[in-house]
A and B are shown apart, each in its own frame.
Chain A
Amino acid sequence: MARAAAPPLDVDRLIDDRRTRIIVCCGSGGVGKTTVAAAVGLRAAERGRHVVVLTVDPARRLAQSMGLSSLDNTPRLVAGVAAAGHPRAAAETGEYEVNRGGSLHAMMLDMKRTFDEIVEAHADPDRAAQILANPFYQSLSSGFSGTQEYMAMEKLGQLRRADDWDLIVVDTPPSRSALDFLDAPQRLGRFLDGKLLRLLTAPAKLGGRAYLRVLNIGFGVVTGALTKILGGQLLKDAQTFVTALDTMFGGFRERAEYTYQLLRAPGTSFLVIAAPEPDALREASYFVERLAVERMPLAGLILNRVHRSPAARLSAARSLAAAESLQPADGQNGDEPDAAAQPGQAPYTLAIAALRLHAERMQLVASERRLAGRFSTAHPLVPVAEVPAQAEDVHDLAGLRAIGESFPAS
């Protein structure tokens, strides 16, 4: 059956192109996004780029392998990069330690710290202190699910402006859906700039009352309800918060807008990461479509943890049939291999086990192929790179490097 053949994604070309300044790795949770982002960053560094990987909440061991032990919001130099990165290049040049001049920094996002810094940058010290102490601000800056996305974008903007690195690889926050990354900052921005906040500051302002008259509701109804839901103290805190933030709204909007434009600017590329599983690929599809709508540049799909077989020519069906032909006649229709496998009795237990295992593997390979094929049929122009499933979790630079080496060669 003809499956839509996806064009191969040339990751090396993407990272070797000096015009690529930002790579955003997105995808749903649990697909190995952080690991792939780190692998892309490491590979780029070992191919000569000055890279910073901005990661959010990585697995502890992965973080340790990159030399990140604490959440300090500052890019840290990752040791061990490029020294052994190019054994082939080393052999060619005769030097053992080849450094092509690349470097890798990595940092973990501290969203509260990042938010605090924005406040401090936009308000005078007294007002900043007032905002930082407000319970609403504290809740917003440490808890709101969109804050992490917003701050990741803010950090990205800061890193880009600082211009200390020639490539920034962003690992997007682990949100329930890949689209949150695009939506949350705007949602937060909209909220901070919204009608409600104007209303909350309204008791002192005529504008708020006029607005309510348009909506044909009594002012008392609204404040009454608010007091009932939130309680008087809470309402007062909210009003203080809003008033204090008032001067900063313009700043927030501007920053959100700047970062959003950054994602559309030349030099930015998106990598969508997925595992060959239905949910992950469905999310990947949504994301690909969304990027097209937003006119944001998609480099391609990285299909992570793809299974392969060294004996792919033996199909699942033939393998299973062969296993069954070896099954002793009394092993009732072969459904219970364990029950029939008395040591020393059934002669071919090893072959039977191997053939059954192979059949399962080939079924898995086939089902992954089918899912990947379905994606490529729907998105025939999206280049795809497959990363084979690793036998063990990646927790050091060598593991990251192995992933980088498995990207299809140009």
Chain B
Amino acid sequence: MPFERGHGLLRWGGAVTLLVLLAAAAAPWISPHDPRQQLDPASARHRPPGTRLAVVRLADGATLLADAVERTPTGLRVQRLGSWRSLPASQVLNLAPRGVDTWRTYPLGTDRYGRDVASRLLWGGRVSLRVALLAVALALTLGVLIGAVAGLGPAVVDAVLMRGVDALMAFPRLFLVLAVAALWRSGELAAVVVLGGTGWMEVARLTRGEVLRLRGLDFVQAARAMGAPPWRIAFVHVLPLAVVPLFAHTALRVGDTILTESALSFLGFGVTPPTPSWGNLIADGQDVLLDAWWVAALPGVAIAVTVLGFALLGDGLRAVLDPRSR
């Protein structure tokens, strides 16, 4: 019964996670628009989801976005920023029988520069996920190494490392991450290093515990009795098994890191604009909460869905890999 539920969680979590990862990976191809493009920002600013605007290309190289266009005998009448004005046919490059030949739809609305929110969400997800995955990879590497050294090394090393881990775990993570990011440097790479560098302690603990448990087991004792060198015991007999419980933890960790990254970027110390990440998309929207709720609201939904996906996946993995837990 728990086995089955584990699979159910796994399926749902896996599906959501996969979908989000695919969407982020495919952002260059599936984004409706270029996430950085600002066509006629004065007119396209803060348009609600579903807005459709006419694209008027002018001979002088400028582009206007109009709420409505009307073909006239001499050219085009354009409604922009609340007023109508006429343009002679010679000035408009993309004149068509029904006004103009191009229209743009913003499925999730636009932000303060008239950029497409949907595209920014996709590209922002790419950045947020990339940062989170790299940071977790870093944290896993550090954590497994340190945990293994503590578990396999001499007792003194173990004691020193574990007290260090205790001390670092006493910091509320966000305070630590912020202090480091604020004083050192901000940016995407810095965010990876900071999040990875402050996220390994739990991994180290888990690894150490598992290593200690495995070390006492019969087959390891046997290998030792047969004269296998310590490094061989570590890498062949202990570590491959010690990392198994980490799978579930990793999935949870990714979700957690996405949350921390978004808070970091929201507070202005993570990924720096104009590179979009979910956290700074929300920060962008905070100033205009009253005018354009969608700018701040939608990235939050994206974060919640993604983190939920990873949490379900982690839960499912734990249920499947460790039948004791229910």
Q: Do A and B bind each other?
A: no
Q: Give the B-binding residues of A (Cβ under 8 A).
A: none
